[in-house]
Amino acid sequence: MEKLHTNQTGGPVAGAPENAKKKMPPWLAGLIGLAVIVGVYGILKLLIWTEVISIYYADYLNLILINMILGLGLNLITGITGQFSLGHAGFMAVGAYTTALVVLNTSGSLVSILGGILLGAVLAGLLGLLVGIPTLRLKGDYLAIATLGLGEIIRIFITNTDQKVLGGSAGLSGFPIFTTFEMAFFGAAITFVVVRNLLKSSYGRACVAVREDEIAAESMGVNLAKVKIMAFVVGTFFAGMAGGLFTGYMGIIQPKSFDFMKSIDILMIVVLGGLGNIWGTLVGAIVLGIVNIFLQDLSSVRMIVYALLLVIIMLVKSGDTRFFVWLRKLFNWKKWTPAFLSKKSGVK
């Protein structure tokens, strides 16, 4: 978050020609970006192929990539635009069920799978538009509760509709596990590129302005409703896409996979990586993925760790140094505490 600001306003004031020399032409930057993505893909594929990453972990990698998509979508809504959404899992459910229905009712070829995922994403985005127009008028906490309610409504609706259509609480199954590493990887790559480019555009700056101060943004000519809805629709679109990939990853979907806890899992990724920081979201998804491998069988310990992390990250981020002081006392790590933190606690 802070990084963004220093990029735009901070730093030494360089002369204009020098600045121009440093700037890459957009096509070159795009090409380098593409090369990096293909390179990362190649390396990961090689590692899987040579079984450095075993089949078990390769499978897990898909889930991490899907979580990256979810995290990036939520980060756009909550981290970058500042609209707190707690119903992300609901939009994911829309994408997941759409994809499952498409795959179940067609041949199940690659085209129908990709078409199903796309349709799911579009429907989730449309729902986001439909819901966003009225609810985004709400401020902060109210929006959080309204989106939470919305996610629950979607889940309860799926659980209670005709079993023949959506499978009720037992869910839908009977389709193959179709999500390949390529789908998950390029899904995540596309999401990252879209969110990153959006962030660098005037829309992205408008989003940040809305987060920082709605009234100031509005008086500078930012169309609040438009910007919020744009962010919400893009975020929910990707939630739908991730839902489709999740369907193909699990091979079975149930309404309970898309409950409030799932929304919190996604929020956790975003918070851990840093609200508004898209690189952080990627790191957050990887770190939480690794934590989950270790705590898989201890779900209550996992949730305690999650909860503590949420609280501690928020406290530390707000300049509360008690945690570090406490750690230092606990381990007697005088040297360990970074200088800027001990300085801060000195002031306090």
Partner 1 sequence: MDFSWLTHFDSFVQQMINGISIGSIYALAALGYTMVYGIIKLINFAHGDILMVGAYVGYFCVAVFKMPLILAMVVAVAACGVLGVLIEKVAYRPLRRAPRITVLITAIGVSFLLEYVMVALVGAESKAYPAGSFGGGNLMLGNIAVDIQRLYVVGITIVMMIVLQFIVKRTKIGKAMRAVSSDADAAQLMGISVDRTISFTFLLGSGLAAVAGVMMGAMFTINPLMGMQPGLKAFIAAVFGGIGSIPGAMIGGVLLGVIETVVTASGASAYKDLAAFVILILVLLIRPCGILGKNVREKV
Contacting positions for partner 1 (CB under 8 A): 78, 82, 84, 134-135, 137-138, 140-142, 144-146, 148-150, 152-153, 156-157, 159-160, 215, 260, 264, 267, 271, 275, 300-301, 303-304, 306-311, 314-315, 317-318, 320, 322
Rounded to whole angstroms, how far apart are CA atoms 145 and 260? 11
Rounded to whole angstroms, how far apart are CA atoms 150 and 67? 21
Of 143 and 195, CB closest to partner 1: 143
Of 190 and 295, CB closest to partner 1: 295
Q: How far is the CB of 194 from partner 1 (least distance, A)?
A: 24
Of 248 and 273, CB closest to partner 1: 273
Cβ-contact 239, 88 below 8 angstroms: yes
Q: How far is the CB of 228 from partner 1 (least distance, A)?
A: 14
Q: How far is the CB of 6 from partner 1 (least distance, A)?
A: 19
Q: Is 167 exposed, middle or buried (0-12, 13-18, 19+ CB in 10 A)?
A: buried
Computed on alpha carbons and rounded to an integer, the radius of gyration of the chain in Å comes to: 21
Rounded to whole angstroms, how far apart are CA atoms 219 and 101? 46
Q: How far is the CB of 204 from partner 1 (least distance, A)?
A: 19
Q: Which of 255, 31, 253 is nearest to 159 (CA)?
A: 255
Place of tokens 């305690």: 304
Of 317 and 343, CB closest to partner 1: 317
Of 46 and 307, CB closest to partner 1: 307
DSSP secondary-structure letter at 253?
E
Place of tokens 């707000």: 318
Q: How far is the CB of 223 from partner 1 (least distance, A)?
A: 18
